Structure 1
């Protein structure tokens, strides 16, 4: 299926969970953000609902403490000033991960992408300077003041309305073209999809408390029927949909990754395949690019680089597909996972804590994931929808180099709400299994190393909880012997996954004491603060497994490879190499898929030599630590 030209009407958009207020919202208190929207709408003649809808799609009305987004956007209106953001933007290092994660051929590592120079920035990343020109408000004010930022955004919308020759009236339907222009998109489909999303917000209404503690509401306007033909006045290009495989509710473009031979026995940057006939697609992997959009596209078109199926743009949710879904991209650092997954890279070049993502990108990503999950029957849960930081190392030697994106500031709770699978309680407070679920905006654990090693990051919402060796915030953090073979404690580093459980992940409860809950994690008890008044986990009902009677410990694996006897002649046997962790007697872990040992042998440019080796030995996927892992079925027993 492809998405072409103008995307489907808003009625076809993925239903989103809405907390729409009543049509008779209370008058906003003086000085509030709600009043700022009302005042700016009145000053520039923009319907308040349009101003609120655009802002919601950009930032969900958050100001992020004046910090820039991944594309240099500031404030509730996401006015972009990437030049300023790049001037002192810290850059997250990728590490030494082999993107292919295949022992049968030389490593293919991700190189560090250079940040774009200020002179190379497109207009969509410089909207703040345009807002300053048309509003007369200084750039610093537009970056730092939410009130000024809202006025700047209103000024841009009003200017777009004038340029389109449209009346500056109070009917939201007349502003469809101006909203499409505000997206910064250069193609018809993306501008249309963006405007459709804004008007979906206007129709359904929204209400939430922002990151600054302000309550903002947009009353529903269900009868609004915008003039979608206004997009034609923008004179935008028509993107090449080519071989794209996308739902009709997103804007997709075909920008292919190269499959070509460029050296003796070397080729790039993916493997041709025949999925799902050859192998099932079981995982969808969420990444961030750590590069700008233009740099990301240059990298994925380099045959000597690595690859992924889709890239998503932050400013407007535009999607580019690079690798057909039947083929295997090199993105997850684990060949078993690569062979059975689809990789989604989300644009971003600013390190946490304020590397926030736009609502436009979250929504486009959620629609794409829903489409992929339905197409391949992938369950919408956190053992199948993984962050790159949840993919296990293949062997002991690869654990320390595994990537840590999208990190502790990706809002998994909001993402799964958009997927239509919110993390809700399935059992009571004394359940034997829990789903990690802190309140993102209110849960702000201390992280370090966002700018300098050991230096505290700015306070910010997070979907991850920190794990201790005892029921106290002063107890040491649990150890990860894979990351630190010497037995050192884990740290509060923003890229340290050794003592972290993330929203949506499920664990077996080991013990409870007052406001603290212990779970089984990496072969040990791990405690997290879970007060009844502000819980960070909810009860769940899931099957768990434990070592079979008589076994004191069970080996844990980073990939489910076949037994040696399963390999045919001409295909080298791949070692079934255990990780340094142990699943000990009496411990329990939540069960995921039951899978056969499987290995895709694909080391040549000519696909005639590719083979899928499938064994008889079965494995279970488990939530073992922050990353998933595998155990042999023969070693464990499953408990209801």
Structure 2
């Protein structure tokens, strides 16, 4: 397939192809195993003349060898080989269409609720039909039968390789992309072959890709000037417009000078709730909202829209917006789809690069989902978005970041890290496709909390999500009684195989048996009210005291959320932060002001979402 101007010269490309062929020919044999999945890869490789490690490497970058119960990925791919069938993908809603969240989340400006119509999947990639012609199987079988799916993928690779000297271009073409994005996909496949991999799939089958450490791969070319990305991923610039609009309005982000003006504390992980082409059009709409990056599902291509020094409108909380970077991932929080390994890896490389650049800790208090961003005031809590949802694999993501979660505390610690086995942890939520209808059983990062130590007990109450006092529900969008992988909580009680944590002012119980722990001992710091204080107010933003504002900036109210931190309760601390408000309500950057106060706050893990308490109200102590 043709490569872009950034590709290797043809002589170098041919040399790389020859090197890859020799490396693959010398690759060690796969480890002996009786798993059906491993046998299927070996049989398909032999049948279609594809090196087994190439077949395994491609499949790993697509699905990590999982079957995903025949459900589609976020880019309409099925099975271990990610054969695409756009006819089955349907029409998706567009980003920010659900809920009442104002993405800016700034009380100093009118609420912004842009709407965009439903988006159909992009046309042009229908590999399941091509595989059907090559294998004689129908599309449904290729989508749902893992053995035939692997055969179909092998047949496609063999076809793409015909007439070529090496397998690099065939792998690049398999991604469905062109140019540098396809090349990056191929690079990642061959790096996986080089390092090797062993894992147990979502349906319990162990698969091994033996390492080929002597395999040579071509170097990655530099990204275009102006994009902020590591060299190991492919990035392009798709700028979001900073543009004046009628009626003294403007869009779709704010210029700033971070980190000189404000420290960047968080990276917020989103999903797009729409497909790549339509989402990128929205990012270029001056009347819409904005985020810093979008990552494509099929190959991990990254588009940067807003410079990281500037403030995008993405998280629904202006304090968080002003101090974060927002990254959208092509996908859906609850549509029954799964995120590809290519996207996970590309995202982890980007986040690792940004975290190093800005000194952001690699933990779940600072690398957060949109679903972990707090409401600004009581009235906004119910409308906050909840992506990337309970099916985003935080544990695997942090493994890719080189910052694995859990297991660092001593037994009996009063602080725990939530860390269930993703594949085995399968709470049945409702409403993925139709309200009230159970979602398909699938691996999840979420641990459901009960009001008593038994599965039949009601879920916890969330006064912000359910102000009528009713318990939380198992609706996939209801995060009121749900702890997320990587989050840390103080232990409130233990009864046999059940553990309780402090959560939204209550004891939240979850099953935590010795032989299948879903929470691991942790080390860290906790906060509790200072002696003499019965309760402490909790806030969704860390705004300055009124005296800190200059005369030309409207004072922002410090409004408590409808929760309290009571004496005797403890919550995990992510450290003390200063109070700040970025006043940016006009197109003229000269009017923008960063207001910094003397007031200090402590970020805590209060429920599913982070929150803030005034440092003067609490005592910070190590967890034991």
Q: Identify which of 140, 161, 175 aligns with 1:183.
A: 175
Question: Whole-Å Cα distance in 1 between the matches of residues 435 and 534 of structure 2?
Answer: 40
Question: Whole-Å Cα distance in 2 between the matches of residues 521 and 585 of structure 1?
Answer: 14
Gap change, CA 1:93 and 1:62, over 3 Å in 2: farther
Q: Identify which of 242, 261, 275 aligns with 1:259.
A: 242
Q: 1:568 offset after TM fit, Å?
A: 0.3
Q: 1:510 offset after TM fit, Å?
A: 0.6
Gap change, CA 1:112 and 1:429, over 3 Å in 2: farther
- After superposing the two structures, state which structure 1 stretch, 106-115 or 151-160, moved more: 106-115
Q: Identify which of 339, 355, 361 aligns with 1:379.
A: 361
Gap change, CA 1:454 and 1:91, over 3 Å in 2: farther
Q: Identify which of 25, 29, 37 aligns with 2:34.
A: 29
Q: Name the residue aligned to 2:423.
A: 441
Provide the aligned C-alpha RMSD in A: 2.1
- After superposing the two structures, state which structure 1 stretch, 570-579 or 107-116, moved more: 107-116
Q: Does residue 115 of structure 2 align to residue 111 of structure 1?
A: yes
Query: For 1:530-584, what per-residue CA distance to the aligned partner results, in whole angstroms no more than 9, with x for missing partners?
Result: 1110000000011111001000000000000000000001100000000000000
Q: Identify which of 204, 210, 216 aligns with 1:219.
A: 210
Q: 1:186 offset after TM fit, Å?
A: 2.0
Question: Whole-Å Cα distance in 2 between the matches of residues 90 and 285 of structure 1?
Answer: 19
Question: Whole-Å Cα distance in 1 between the matches of residues 482 and 599 of structure 2?
Answer: 31
Q: Identify which of 519, 544, 563 aligns with 1:537.
A: 519
Gap change, CA 1:320 and 1:89, over 3 Å in 2: closer
Q: Identify which of 341, 348, 354 aligns with 2:324.
A: 341
Contact 2:91 2:119 in 1 (8 A): no
Q: Name the residue aligned to 1:268.
A: 251
Contact 2:336 2:439 in 1 (8 A): no
Q: Does residue 182 of structure 2 align to residue 199 of structure 1?
A: no
TM-score (norm 1): 0.91
| DSSP-derived class of the 1:86 partner | coil
Query: For 1:413-432, what per-residue CA distance to the aligned partner results, in whole angstroms no more than 9, with x for missing partners?
Result: 00000000001312233110
Q: 1:177 offset after TM fit, Å?
A: 1.2
Question: Whole-Å Cα distance in 1 between the matches of residues 594 and 274 of structure 2?
Answer: 34
Question: Whole-Å Cα distance in 1 between the matches of residues 222 and 110 of structure 2?
Answer: 36
Give the 5 Å matches for 1:426-505. Answer: 426-505=408-487
Gap change, CA 1:369 and 1:449, over 3 Å in 2: same
Q: 1:87 offset after TM fit, Å?
A: 6.4
Question: Whole-Å Cα distance in 2 between the matches of residues 596 and 48 of structure 1?
Answer: 55
Q: Name the residue aligned to 1:235.
A: none
Gap change, CA 1:572 and 1:345, over 3 Å in 2: same
Contact 1:395 1:577 in 2 (8 A): yes
Q: Name the residue aligned to 1:139.
A: 139
Question: Whole-Å Cα distance in 1 between the matches of residues 296 and 161 of structure 2?
Answer: 25
Q: Does residue 51 of structure 2 align to residue 69 of structure 1?
A: no
Q: Name the residue aligned to 1:51.
A: 55
Q: 1:154 offset after TM fit, Å?
A: 0.8
Contact 1:161 1:178 in 2 (8 A): yes
Question: Whole-Å Cα distance in 2 between the matches of residues 83 and 294 of structure 1?
Answer: 17
Contact 1:113 1:291 in 2 (8 A): no
| DSSP-derived class of the 1:469 partner | coil
Q: 1:94 offset after TM fit, Å?
A: 2.3
| DSSP-derived class of the 1:336 partner | helix
Q: Give ranges in structure 1 of 5+ residues lacking alignment.
A: 10-21, 168-173, 232-237
Q: Name the residue aligned to 1:290.
A: 273
| DSSP-derived class of the 1:528 partner | strand
Q: Identify which of 35, 39, 44 aligns with 2:43.
A: 39
TM-score (norm 2): 0.93
Q: 1:352 offset after TM fit, Å?
A: 2.6
Question: Whole-Å Cα distance in 2 between the matches of residues 424 and 489 of structure 1?
Answer: 29
Q: Give ranges in structure 2 of 5+ residues lacking alignment.
A: 13-26
Contact 1:101 1:107 in 2 (8 A): yes
Contact 1:309 1:321 in 2 (8 A): yes
| DSSP-derived class of the 2:89 partner | helix
Q: Does residue 160 of structure 2 align to residue 160 of structure 1?
A: yes
Question: Whole-Å Cα distance in 1 between the matches of residues 496 and 57 of structure 2?
Answer: 43
Q: 1:128 offset after TM fit, Å?
A: 1.6
Query: For 1:385-416, what per-residue CA distance to the aligned partner results, in whole angstroms no more than 9, with x for missing partners?
Result: 00000000000000000001001100000000
Gap change, CA 1:6 and 1:545, over 3 Å in 2: farther
Query: For 1:256-295, what per-residue CA distance to the aligned partner results, in whole angstroms no more than 9, with x for missing partners?
Result: 0011011121110000111111111110000000000001
Question: Whole-Å Cα distance in 2 between the matches of residues 113 and 76 of structure 1?
Answer: 32
Q: 1:483 offset after TM fit, Å?
A: 0.4
Q: Does residue 423 of structure 2 align to residue 419 of structure 1?
A: no
- After superposing the two structures, state which structure 1 stretch, 214-223 or 556-565, moved more: 214-223
| DSSP-derived class of the 1:207 partner | strand
Q: Name the residue aligned to 2:20.
A: none
| DSSP-derived class of the 2:450 partner | coil
| DSSP-derived class of the 2:490 partner | strand
Q: 1:108 offset after TM fit, Å?
A: 1.4
Q: 1:506 offset after TM fit, Å?
A: 0.1
Q: Name the residue aligned to 2:584.
A: 602
Q: Does residue 343 of structure 2 align to residue 361 of structure 1?
A: yes
Contact 2:296 2:330 in 1 (8 A): yes
Aligned length: 602
| DSSP-derived class of the 2:590 partner | helix
Question: Whole-Å Cα distance in 1 between the matches of residues 465 and 478 of structure 2?
Answer: 9
Question: Whole-Å Cα distance in 2 between the matches of residues 143 and 110 of structure 1?
Answer: 36
Q: 1:91 offset after TM fit, Å?
A: 10
Moved over 6 A (4+): 87-92
